Amino acid sequence: MPLDTSRVLDSELIRKYLPRGRTIEELEQELEPVIKQELKGRIKALLKEKDAVLVAHYYVSADLQELAAETGGFTSDSLDMARFGHEHPASTLAVAGVRFMGETAKILNPEKKVLMPDLEATCSLDLGCPAEDFAAFCDEHPDRTVVVYANTSAEVKARSDWMVTSSIAEKVVAHLHEKGKKILWAPDKYLGDYVQRKTGADLLSWDGACVVHEEFKAQALKDMRIEDPEAGVLVHPESPRGIIEQADFVGSTTQLIQAARDLPHKKFIVATDRGIFHRMRQAAPGKIFIPAPIAGETVDCIACAHCPWMAMNGLQNLTRALETGENEIHVDPQVGRRARIAVERMLEFSRSLRK
Ligand code: 13P
Ligand code: SF4
């Protein structure tokens, strides 16, 4: 797969945006249960008072995921978070995840208020794909259909023809390939590589990566499987090729949870953010989940199998956002209208698959 390496991922930039010190998630793990209960009670009351619903990702804390379930909200992958927020009648969406998830919610629901616990919660894929550079890349390849991953800014989505998430990327690219389209893909090079190999499409990729998934180590995973040959391997497609090649199942977070439940293995090695273990244990009680290895014996990782930006979501900053209405996501209406075409195209396509 050709890769545009002219704009190399700026790891300094990514480090600059990493949360400093201990994350709110770590700090909240130490809260007394009674304080947590008080905060949860306050959030429940605020959600009602503000006509709001909580939409969370599987990588945020178990407390937030549980709260979403207890209040008629929802925890899921990026595609179903977008769908749920769009279809729910609440006038405010409280999104516990990272910024691109809040922006996607706003793009689809410009009339709704979208709040997030922390607006600084970003994503290395989004950071590694600045809108201006991306526009120049697109201009250099006007013959290609532009397909961008959800993990991008609203401006990047506005420059695209299609937005996709990990659960539907392969199907969308296969569909475009069948129609004879050449693809310009951004920003995740590993997901791009995976989709290219699955579909055979002519796909030119941006050079971006997720700091969490890029850390999984193929040789260490091989060693682990030799030690534990009975264990199944579940892999998110943001992982490098050497990890994906060892998978029993590759898919989005929701698809991985379903596989954990449905595959016959009693034990799984999991190559994605360890926040997902909470839901995997609920979906497949009694099964054992172990994280895929990150840096062999010498742990030298930025993320250590847990997204530092997802960990910026907590009960306390969610309470504050709901109380004050601050941390609202704004998307320039013109940008939003253009981005919406790409997002709607994916939703329409996913509806056609379900018919
Ligand atoms: P999913 O859409 O599979 O939940 O992935 C989102 C993400 O950011 C994974 O790192
Ligand atoms: Fe982005 Fe990776 Fe975090 Fe997902 S896990 S939000 S891709 S940095």
CATH number at residue 345: 3.40.50.10800
Structure tokens given for 16: 């600059």
Tell me: do 146 and 241 sit in the same domain: no
Tell me: do 264 and 322 sit in the same domain: no
Q: Is the CB of 165 under 6 A from ligand 2?
A: no
Relative to the alpha carbon of 166, which ligand is closest? 1
Q: How far is the CA of 302 from the centre of ligand 2 (A)?
A: 12
Task: Tell me how many degrees the CA angle 107-84-235 measures, rounded to the nearest 5.
Answer: 95
Question: What confidence score (pLDDT) does residue 345 get?
Answer: 98
Answering whether pTM is above 0.75, one says yes
Distance CA(304)–CA(151), nearest Å, equals 20
Question: What confidence score (pLDDT) does residue 1 get?
Answer: 72
In a domain, 41, yes or no: yes
Tell me: do 254 and 342 sit in the same domain: no
In a domain, 346, yes or no: yes
Of 271, 280, 272, 277, which Cα lies nearest the Cα of 246?
271
pLDDT means over runs of 10, the chain (355 residues): 61 77 91 96 98 98 98 96 97 98 98 97 96 97 98 98 98 98 98 98 97 94 97 98 98 98 98 98 98 73 89 97 97 98 97 89
Distance CA(236)–CA(191), nearest Å, equals 9
Residue whose CA is closest, atom 7 of ligand 2?
210
Q: How far is the CA of 196 from the centre of ligand 2 (A)?
A: 21
Tell me: do 262 and 194 sit in the same domain: no
Q: How far is the CA of 59 from the centre of ligand 2 (A)?
A: 9
- In the chain, the number of structural domains is 3
Tell me: do 184 and 217 sit in the same domain: no
If you write DSSP's letter for every residue of 246-282 in order, what string do you get?
T-SEE--HHHHHHHHHHSS-SEEEEES-GGGHHHHHH
Question: What confidence score (pLDDT) does residue 19 get?
Answer: 79
Distance CA(274)–CA(292), nearest Å, equals 9
* Ligand 1 atom closest to residue 307's alpha carbon, by position in its atom list: 10
Tell me: do 151 and 198 sit in the same domain: yes
Tell me: do 218 and 145 sit in the same domain: no
**Dmax of the chain from CA atoms?**
59
In a domain, 3, yes or no: no
Contact 70, 41 (CB under 8 A): no
Q: Is the CB of 214 under 6 A from ligand 1?
A: no
Task: Tell me how many degrees the CA angle 203-106-279 measures, rounded to the nearest 5.
Answer: 75
Tell me: do 196 and 248 sit in the same domain: no
Q: Domain residues for 135?
A: 125-211+335-354
